[in-house]
Structure formats: structure tokens, C-alpha cells
Structure 1
Amino acid sequence: MLLKRELLEDIKAGKVDLVFRRWSRPTVRAGGTLKTKVAILAIDAMDEMDPAEVSLADAQRAGVADLDAFRRWLDSMKPGHLFHRIRLRYLGGDQNGTGA
């Protein structure tokens, strides 16, 4: 799962704790970790859902201002038949995503 650096920085700062993904096959799992350019992230939970069920609060927790912006972002995503809400958090690591 690729995340843009700006989003990674917001996760590290505690401003973002949700991301959404539409895909054919999940590339992360609940209870796992994700090594990124910024640090290691913990994947705390994954919920398969319908994109229409995304609330304003969830969109904002993902760093999106409102539901219209969320829908525009969703339209720009790659196609896929699975849609997940992923709760994650900064776990640690250095700028290369390694160490503690």
C-alpha cells in the first residue's frame, strides 16, 4: 500500500488515523505493520465496507475536508471490487522506516 509523503507525515503527527483503499486484493492485514518512507505504521483494523457508508467524520480522520472531496478522491482511485477502511497509527522508526 503506497501512501504519499504528506499523508505519512500527518499519520506520524497523529492528524490522520484512517485511510481508505479500493483494490482487487488487500496488500496489508489487521495486526500487521507497514514499512514506509517515513516510519513503520501499525495496521490496527481493516473493515470492508461500501464507499457510500463513509461518514464525514471518517473522511476527516483520513485527512479529507468533506464528503465531496472524498468522492473526488475516490473517483481518482484505481478500480477494484473491494473497499476497505484501514485504521493505522505511527509505530516508530527513523526517516527510512527502520530502527526505533
Structure 2
Amino acid sequence: MLSRWVLDGVVAGEITCAFRRWASPHARSGTRMRTQVGVVVVTEVTEVQPQDITEDQAAAAGYRSRSGLLSSLDKYGSGSVWRVGLRHVGEDPREVLRQRPELDAEERADLDRRLARMDASSRHGPWTRHLLRLIRDRPGVRAAELAESQNRPVARFKSDVWKLKELGLTESLRVGYRLSPRGEAYLAHCGSGAS
């Protein structure tokens, strides 16, 4: 929803809103978005009339002029115009978690339980530690290639990697994945078994 230049402006406090054309709102007040620059919260979603947008509001959205903002809106369809308030609220907690290589006994036990639940609910059997080892051994390999090596549909494979990423164990690269420092520490704790 937000381009990198907008996100950088939100972090700097220079951009406090965005305008979008939508048939119905695609965000709600209070929505927290995890982005490339951390967590951004939606502070408001208000339908507005294009003619009521002011120069100051255009500047708050990162545009040099109201006409520049309106021109950009016209590129994206004919839905209603919505003003979306934005505020940066801090780092992505997953990013902070990923970079922590220390795992105490309680954290390891919690990860053991969570991964065991994922394995138990899987239709294709235990997979979590195997996937962590695969990513460790083949960092930066395309998801399609990794999925094919496991005889898995790419979308389901990516979904499984996402579950590990949510726990702070993996990181996405431009191409493929790698283990995070936390993932490396956890896998070292698991030893070299095949489960």
C-alpha cells in the first residue's frame, strides 16, 4: 500500500497521511502494518472530496502541490478518495527478535512447543526443523527451486517459510531466504537430527 519514499517520509515525520482511490476502504483506523521501515499505524481513514483537498494536506502526503497529488490519484481508477492518517510507531518486533541470537531455556522451550504444534497440525508430516535446515544449507535459493526440491507447491512452501519468519527464525532475501541469528541459535539447539 505504501511505497518506500512514503514510508521514509512517515519515519522522518514529514508525511502524516496518504490519499488513495478505493471503492471501499482497504484499511481501518488502528490497523498496524509491518513495513520495510518498521511498524506504521493507521490513525484515521476518512472519505474526502478531491476538491476539498488542500495544499497543506498534499504536503502532508509528501507532494509538492495539490495538483501533483490529484494527478497521481487519477492514475489509479475512479473510486472514492480516502485520506489515510499514518504514524510510525517503532521497529518491527520480528526484526528485533530475529537479530537476537541468545535463546534462554524458556525461549527454546516456547519455540519447541510452537514448532511441535505446527508439525502436529501439518498434513504432510513434521516439517519445521527440516525446513530450517534446508534454508540454512541453501541460503539465497529461489523459493520455487526449494519447493520443487521438497515436491511441494510453491505457495504452500512460502506459507510455511512465512510461519517460521513470524517466529523470528528466517529472513527474506532479494532471492530466497536465510536463517536469522535467532534461527541459527535455535537450530544449533536442535542438533543434527532429521525431524
TM over 0.5: yes
SS at 1:15 equivalent: coil
Task: Return the alpha-carbon distance in structure 2 between the equivalents of residues 21 and 98 of structure 1.
Answer: 28
Richer in helix (by share):
2
The structure whose RCO (Cα within 8 Å, separation 6+) is larger is: 1
Structure 1 segments unaligned to the other structure (5+ residues): none
TM-score by length of 1: 0.84
Over the residues paired in the alignment, what is the CA RMSD in angstroms? 1.7
- Within 5 Å, give how 1:4-83 maps onto structure 2: 4-80=3-79, 82-83=80-81
> Which residue of the partner structure matches residue 87 of structure 1?
85
Structure 2 segments unaligned to the other structure (5+ residues): 97-195
Task: Return the alpha-carbon distance in structure 2 between the equivalents of residues 5 and 98 of structure 1.
Answer: 19
Q: Percent of pairs identical after alignment?
A: 28
Mark the structure with the bigger radius of gyration. Answer: 2
Instruction: State the number of aligned residues.
Output: 96
TM-score by length of 2: 0.46
Richer in strand (by share):
1
* Residues 32 and 42, structure 1, Cα contact 8 Å, conserved in 2: yes
* Residues 42 and 86, structure 2, Cα contact 8 Å, conserved in 1: yes
Task: Return the alpha-carbon distance in structure 1 between the equivalents of residues 94 and 56 of structure 2.
Answer: 32
Task: Return the alpha-carbon distance in structure 1 between the equivalents of residues 28 and 52 of structure 2.
Answer: 21
Question: Using a 3 Å threshold, how does the CA distance of structure 1 residues 83 and 98 change in structure 2: closer, same or farther?
Answer: farther
Runs of 4+ more than 4 Å apart: none
* Residues 39 and 91, structure 2, Cα contact 8 Å, conserved in 1: yes
